[in-house]
Structure 1
């Protein structure tokens, strides 16, 4: 699939500037590499850049962008359609050595010059010495993360096209993983097949290690390790993949390892998780409030509540995103405001785990909220051996 990348960059940049204008935010300064990508289309050393403020961007409500790229990498942004002012990023953290405070002074001077007479700035991802220096120079600081979260909430038309392509590629990678599941194979050995295919099809990285088998499927969130799978094991897998053009694909499946027939208890757990997933997905639609959704959600049987998934669902885009919709509990005020809107991508979560048997089933699918309802974006098949 051919994607007009410059058009994609312009769409997301325009969306961010629109939200800034609506909120009367004159400028945002971010060191978050995912938000830099959203605002400018500039991708470089994403995982490394998550470890500190090594690259940063200033976006003005006028549309102007100043991008401080990792030193020596400025040429990577040649031809960028929105970031035309590219500079080498100064070393502004203690990691950079003793002279980092003078580099902070230089950055503050550059930011003030770009802002002109404006004294308000939304900021995220910087260490305290930078924040202190900006305030000491007279700037009024506010949170930029909320601005980006609001902008990224509604996907632009080309973003949706890219996400469909990303789903196709990640589902192919999941097929490689499923084909490698066999008795005596280790979890990490099988999980590596997913990585191999993801990277070979221009994916970025996997943000978690959620692949576990047998007794390690309960409680959930155990990471892939050296355990060797046995015939009859449940095997839980959550993609959590940053795929094509860094767009996330997030679905979960539970498989059955080997030729041993599923036990009645395993089938029961799978049926419950499947029911929860599909019941809650049917509630999605434009204008449905988060509270309305949570109150109508599938009632989790008491024996499974203590180890259920922590939220009903969450947003998705360039990674897991707002909103993370909490459960409703009788007698507890529901304070999570908002509603589903067209253009949102939502992942519905389900986990049913049995403490006595130390087994669990994880399922999840990804949905696009449309003008009339919700479209299931991930169509990877469920396990017939467990669903029968």
Structure 2
């Protein structure tokens, strides 16, 4: 299956650089996954498309302020370090710019010595492992020194770092936000509950592999990144009950979707408690086993995410919807508008 099948023309001015003042004021495209019919809505009206007995599944991961700016101890050269994944102890897998300046043994100083790090391993494409040294609690130091790791296509500074967190974020560990959830407010979630719709939480810590472009012509040759997930017994039981009673499971975001489909695929459609790593790659031809609908943002051309939504609604329907979104000047990507596929 060729990567060019998932391409579309996207004017750069449609890439949202800042969030809207009010989260629920985003536009919402409602796409019928069977017929391809499109409706144009405002996100605050999403409740109208949910039914009593349905279950909305949210990813409660919390983004780390994982971008650090420091200097080399020996030369004073400026270095940018992006935390990706915690290894044993205080060692972290990171991306570094400029990577060519960082060899094994290189020491970096952050915040006038509040945090220091020694490079212990190097790898390709700017990958480095650092062993960090600090006083107190690492996450408190990180909160003081770090910045939000916004995606590379966002050039503007974020004035309020909370706007790159969902209102229900609680499990620290992501290198990026599950952006479909950014449209929800506490008030909207309460309105959804009052309609008789269940709310369930899973956790998947988003890695920067989410933004990694597919660099092969045949998508079957793509090496999918892995991400850590957790699902509680309470959530698993709720999801199984909803399925048995004929309710729909509506996933909020591709991260929730990957988690639910990983679990259901391993257990004949059932949900069980547990944690682990998922590298599931969903593209057309995949038969969904967990979800019935999806709330998601508009994704990059030729990305694994546009393949995932194409598997749910059909490639032709998705490309027609995306071309319509361009014509109607929807806002794209992390701070952009939303799509409900149902």
Give the structure-2-normalised TM-score: 0.28
TM-score, length-scaled by structure 1: 0.26
Kindly name which structure, 1 or 2, has the bigger radius of gyration based on alpha carbons. Answer: 1
- Greater share of residues in helix: 1
Higher relative strand content = 2
